[in-house]
Structure 1
Amino acid sequence: MPTRILLEGRPGVGKTTAVRRLAALLRPRALAGFTTEEIRQGGTRVGFALETLAGQRAVLAHLDFPGPPRVGRYGVDLGVMERLAVPSLKQAPPGPVPRQLTLIDELGRMELACTAFRDTVRSLFEADVDIVATVHAHHDPFTDALKQRADIELIQLTRANRDALPEELAARLDIP
């Protein structure tokens, strides 16, 4: 049975850092997916970038983007989700591996504004792949439904466990 883990945490708790550390620890294993990160100018957050685990990078959301959609103060470029995020989740890992591991950072409002992304995530959760995804703590119909699935392990990411958690997950997911 595939492993399906949702790391739930408040903004700024270290979800992206935890997923990036997990990816680094699991590099010998074929991975699919992406991470997001803040874009800062002069100490002020002005947007968010998306980077695939294969190294492709683009600005996902920015104060200067007109939208729609808009999430808070940010206009979101859904084309980035369609061009980079969705294909990164569909990548077949090279070589014979027991099961694909997909890392998704994050299942948030900006990312979920893309219908193709939501559809791809639904398909992944029905496929025979291991998944570790970060998810926001606030309520959303899409993520609430995922959190209620019987095959989901929901882990609260906190400042207290964020440093040790990537190593613990890597030990569980490092399938020879």
Structure 2
Amino acid sequence: MNTTPIVVAVVGVLLVTGPPGVGKTTLIVKVFETLKSSNPNLKIQGFYISEVRQGGERVGFQVVTLDGRTAPLASSIISSPESLRWPTVGKYKVDVASFESLAVPELQVREDTDLFVIDEVGKMELFGSSFFPAVLRVLESNVPVLASVPIPKVGRDIPAG
């Protein structure tokens, strides 16, 4: 199995792809940090997804904006009445409303935006109705994009919708 992220470039769009745990988010965060430190006036919008751990075990994921705000994306330990209606991916319940309330505004196209960072466009993120249209607007804006798209572990398929 390939243990290195694959980078695909299309005019104005740089996609990082690979199976879970290969380092896509790590690469994107390092690129963002390097760009921001070398050019503090650069206007970069977007978010990345980080793991939530308890006692050394991964129990979920959160969305993190590039200015440090966070919101839950998915959890294996939440059990509220509303979470019973949330979609699931494996052992995780996906908090679509929380994710979209923080991530989608970060994808609003503005005149002064130099770069969009979208980590990631994956199954959990695509459950909502607002996220994918926001990503399409970003892609149509001609603002450069750095994004990650996961590929499934061997033997698994990503559903087409």
Give the TM bin, normalised by the shorter chain.
Answer: 0.7 to 0.9
Separation in 2 of the partners of 1:11 and 1:134?
11
Contact 1:38 1:47 in 2 (8 A): yes
Name the TM-score, length of structure 2 as normaliser: 0.78
SS at match of 2:120: strand
Q: Which residue of 1 aligns with 2:63?
A: 50
Alpha-carbon deviation of 1:140?
A: 4.3
Which residue of 1 is the match for residue 5 of structure 2?
none
Q: Which residue of 1 aligns with 2:14?
A: 5
Give the partner amino acid of 1:112.
Answer: L
3-state SS of the aligned residue for 1:60? strand
TM-score (norm 1): 0.72
Which runs of at least 4 in structure 1 moved beyond 2 Å after TM superposition? 64-67, 138-142
- How far off its partner does 1:2 sit? 5.1
Whole-Å separation in 1 of the counterparts to 2:151 and 2:66: 24
> Does 2:160 align with 1:141?
yes
The sequence identity of aligned pairs, in percent, is: 38
SS at match of 2:29: helix
Which one has the bigger helix percentage? 1
Q: Determine the structure 1 residue equivalent to 2:101.
A: 83
1:18 shift after superposition: 0.6
- Check the 8 A contact 1:2/1:129 in 2, yes or no: no
CA distance in 1, matches of 2:98, 2:70: 9
Q: Answer yes or no: is the 8 Å Cα contact 2:109–2:137 preserved in 1.
A: no
C-alpha distance in 1 between matches for 2:116 and 2:75: 26
Q: Can you give the 5+ residue segments of structure 1 that lack an aligned partner in the other structure?
A: 143-176
* 1:92–1:100 contact (8 Å) kept in structure 2: no
- Provide the C-alpha distance between the structure 2 equivalents of 1:32 and 1:80, rounded to a whole number of angstroms: 18
Match of 1:20 among 23, 26, 29: 29
Q: Deviations over 1:28-65 (max 9, x none)?
A: 22100001111111121100011001211112110133
Letter in 1 for 2:26: T
CA-CA distance at 1:125 after TM superposition? 1.2
| Structure 2 residue 114 is matched with structure 1 residue 103 | no
Distance 1:127 1:45 in 2: 36
Amino acid aligned to 1:77: D
* Residues 1:59 and 2:78 aligned together: no
**Within the alignment, does 1:73 sit opposite 2:82 as a pair?**
no
Q: Which ranges of structure 2 fall in alignment gaps of 5 or more residues? A: 1-9, 153-157
Task: Number of aligned residue pairs: give it.
Answer: 138
Q: Which amino acid aligns with 2:91?
A: R
Contact 1:32-1:92 at 8 Å conserved across structures: no
Give the Å deviation of 1:70: 1.0
Shift of 1:91: 5.7
Shift of 1:111: 0.5
